[in-house]
Chain A
């Protein structure tokens, strides 16, 4: 979908992208990295908003050096910061964005209302944007990126500042709208769970370089060498029984960690729970989370 080769971008003395090469497959891709790692710079170069000092970028099979403007017909962009005009109503603004993308008025209007419907915007869509809450503004920002049915949409922190319900809605819409129309998603975020729930692939960028590119499913399959156990009742009794069997467990105050030796460890936990008359709330081999992966790669 997007291919970058040896891209270098400097702002004065600061190097944002340092010999950055990546081949991004189709699907939903999460871009992770610390602040100032070069994520936004890369996204802007891929959008053709800024040009790299050297290297070349291909988006959807087209070289950006030759045609960085017409390629944007197939691209939607949702910036991170607040960037919508206050003096228009939501509908007026989205229709204008549709027209500027090259749609005609009737289809821009139809599409505006369709997307706003998906985003659960009711009558407030006719009100002025200055009266909108943070969540509604975020919805308008997403809607303007999707309005012309792009093949790729870049989302920069789409869930920042949203409360849990609004976040679910946002992620649902991203999932739903992109699934039927095969829209590819490039999601840059600090909230790793969003990547876990939405993305197929994850890319980690640090210091202007690509650190990792991996399928999310593969990553999440990896398991740790301990079993997470949560109990109710006589926890000390439970711990003693396992200790007698020479199994040392760790406690972090909320859950117990039993080292995983083989499949029999599960049976030993169950036996110990029966014996100590404990309630066994949770027993699960601990899985690698995106947090673990991220921190490992960055540090």
Chain B
């Protein structure tokens, strides 16, 4: 229902490229939108919000074209990257003002705004002028303004920017809660760790093109041309060499290397590796305490994809 579908969407600003030929389907749940500065993340968000019309291609948000379907706009919550406040207003007035614009009565607006703001931990600050807010509080106010309408789709552009870790944690909990209620949430962030904590579902954009989308582990599996390094640690480090020798007997192991008490195994067929490794260590009676692949992290996936390693 609350899906977002982009079909071959291209957006140009005059002769400047915004995004180019992006086709993707965003399902309910949390999706991280990643990419360098100027990659086209904000353009993509604007198109989903219906703030700009694609030059080529089709967008569908909840089954409608967002550029023309005005009535469903209050079902989309948007948190822009930049501050967009009336600095002289208090946080409460600000949120309530937007509710009143949507034909809510003053009392009801104030009540709803109060509830939404205190859920985000702004009980004490909501009567103060926005001018006095810290960056974290500003982010929370923006998110309260979006969430007070109880939208089905959230579009959050850098929602964690400038927020301290406590705020960050609180916002993440909120987002996870919304996601479990079946809402579609799109988040762009430069802090890959935050996205990693939130979700495995990502869309990666660079130079206006979509580099990858989907579950990040599945994306990594598709890039089998890049050998994967897996770190294996036996409990008894006398077994390191024994395990290394044994692993080299397998055709899908490219190399092994011992680094302190870890064995680093390089494989070009990761699915086989992950299936066979438990069997081998069981048969050889080598007890291990750690299997872990550092290039499985979002950070390394991002670096590889943006660097173009998947095409080499």
CB within 8 Å of B: which residues of A?
32-36, 133-135, 160-168, 190-193, 230, 232-233, 254, 263, 266-267, 270-271, 273-274, 277-285, 291, 294-295, 298-299
Contact = CB atoms under 8 A, between A and B. Distances in A.
A282 B293 CA distance: 7
A36 B161 contact: no
A38 to B, nearest CB: 13
B153 to A, nearest CB: 21
Contacts of A277: 275
A263 B303 CA distance: 35
Given A192-B165, A291-B169, A285 B289 contact: yes
B279 A36 contact: no
Nearest to A196: B193
Interface stretch (B7-15, B63-71, B252-260, B280-288): B280-288
Contacts of B302: 164
B292 interface: yes
17 contacts: A34-B166, A36-B134, A133-B37, A134-B37, A190-B162, A254-B200, A270-B281, A271-B278, A279-B271, A280-B274, A280-B277, A280-B291, A281-B291, A281-B293, A283-B289, A283-B292, A298-B165
Given A164-B192, A167-B190, A254-B200, A295 B288 contact: no
Contacts of B279: 274
A286 B305 CA distance: 28
A72 B117 CA distance: 43
A282 to B, nearest CB: 6
Contacts of B51: none
Contacts of A133: 37-38
Given A161-B190, A277-B275, A284 B291 contact: yes
Interface residues of B, number: 46
B119 interface: no
A270 B287 CA distance: 9
Contact of A190 (B163, B271, B282, B290): B163
B161 A161 contact: yes
Given A254-B200, A282-B291, A190 B37 contact: no
Contacts of A283: 288-292
B290 A294 contact: no
Contact of B275 (A161, A254, A279): A279
A263 B271 contact: no
B242 to A, nearest CB: 16
Given A36-B134, A263-B289, A283-B290, A274 B162 contact: no
Nearest to A134: B37
A280 B192 CA distance: 24
Given A279-B274, A281-B274, A295-B166, A270 B37 contact: no
B129 interface: no
B169 A284 contact: no
Contacts of B296: 281-282
- Max chain A Cβ within 10 angstroms of own Cβ: one of B134, B135, B275: B275
Contact of B164 (A34, A168, A279): A34
A237 B173 CA distance: 30
B161 A33 contact: no
Contacts of A160: 161-162
A167 B191 CA distance: 9
B278 A270 contact: yes
A233 B278 CA distance: 14
Contacts of A270: 278, 281-282, 288
B292 A190 contact: no
Contacts of B274: 232, 279-281
B290 to A, nearest CB: 5
Given A232-B274, A266-B235, A282-B292, A163 B36 contact: yes
Contacts of A271: 278, 282
Contact of B287 (A135, A168, A267, A282): A267
A165 B165 contact: no
Contacts of A35: 134-137, 164, 167
B217 interface: yes
- Max chain A Cβ within 10 angstroms of own Cβ: one of B164, B166, B289: B164
B278 A32 contact: no
A156 to B, nearest CB: 12
A131 B297 CA distance: 34
B180 to A, nearest CB: 9
Contact of A165 (B36, B163, B275, B293): B36
Given A163-B35, A164-B303, 4 more contacts: A266-B289, A280-B277, A283-B289, A298-B166
A35 B138 CA distance: 12
A32 to B, nearest CB: 7
Interface in B290-312: 290-293, 296, 299, 302-303, 306
A190 B288 contact: no
B299 A274 contact: no
A134 to B, nearest CB: 7
A13 to B, nearest CB: 14
Contacts of A33: 164
A273 B278 CA distance: 7
A36 B167 CA distance: 13
A270 B277 CA distance: 9
A271 B193 CA distance: 32
A178 to B, nearest CB: 22
Contacts of A232: 271, 274
B168 interface: yes
A213 to B, nearest CB: 17
A11 to B, nearest CB: 13
A160 B161 CA distance: 7
